[in-house]
Amino acid sequence: MKFSESLKQAADPILKAQFEHPFVKGLADGTLPMNKFRFYMIQDSLYIVDYARAMAWVAPLMPDVKDILAMLDAAKASFQIEAMLKEQYFQQFGITMEDALKTEPAPICKAYIDHLFRYTRTGTLAEGMAAILPCGWIYVEIGHHFTAGKTIPDDHPYKSWLMTYAAPEFRDLVNWWFQMLDDAVAGYPESELKRIEDIFLKSCRYEWMFWEMGWTMQSWMP
């Protein structure tokens, strides 16, 4: 079994818990209160800027120049797609991306970004890939889970969000990342594979916690 497949198996309970989270279920059926979605989208704007940075920091660790350039292109394209999606909703909210980026990160948003930076700024290729992969993987799985074989009505308030992550090019990107991780850990001893798995699973858990942050509209306390 490929290492990436064992990661997916280990993370499957965390993934399924996200399918059942009230925030995600509300996104899927259109019942999510708009104030919670607004909070989440603003926080996700802060996150996606640093996620693009994390992708860019991983790029130079790749062994082939073609892969380095492809990763940098992916960082740019992912940010642009995310920015377009958010600006579409921000128009409804009466704010701009610039307004969103002036917001203070909520505790989980800040903690997740710190986790990404820890392994992408100074880590190995395997560490960096394990840290960034869950975000792409989980969003692709959510997009597929809630749209495959279904017709999303045009008046669904979150149709654009759902269809963005159901796009096949996102899955292609994630599959490439998993292959890069498999190649990076070739020859690793079991102890090191376990450490890479721990990084991956922690990112998966941060994804669940990000939904919870949006659902509770988390703030710094006291």
Six token digits for residue 127? 């560490």
Cβ burial of 207 (10 Å; 0-12, 13-18, 19+) is buried
Angstrom CA distances, 215 to 4, 77, 95, 103, 104, stand at: 30, 28, 20, 18, 17
What is the reported pTM?
Answer: 0.97
Q: Is 141 a catalytic residue?
A: no
The mean pLDDT of the chain is 97
Does a structural domain hold residue 39?
yes
Residue 193 burial class via C-beta count within 10 angstroms: exposed 0-12, middle 13-18, buried 19 and up: middle
Range of the domain at 192: 3-216
pLDDT tens by residue, 163-211: 999 999 999 999 999 999 999 999 999 999 999 999 999 999 999 999 9
pLDDT of residue 84: 96
Q: Nearest to residue 3, comparing CAs of 134, 128, 190, 142?
A: 190
Catalytic, 207? Answer yes
Count of domains observed in the chain: 1
Is residue 107 in a domain?
A: yes
In a domain, 129, yes or no: yes
Q: Is residue 222 part of a domain?
A: no
Residue range 152-161: mean pLDDT, rounded: 97
148 close to 138: Cβ distance less than 8 angstroms: no
| 51 and 135 Cβ atoms separated by less than 8 Å | yes
The CATH number given to whatever domain includes residue 195 is 1.20.910.10
Of 82, 127, 135, 204, which is the active-site residue? 135
**Residue 221 domain flag:** no
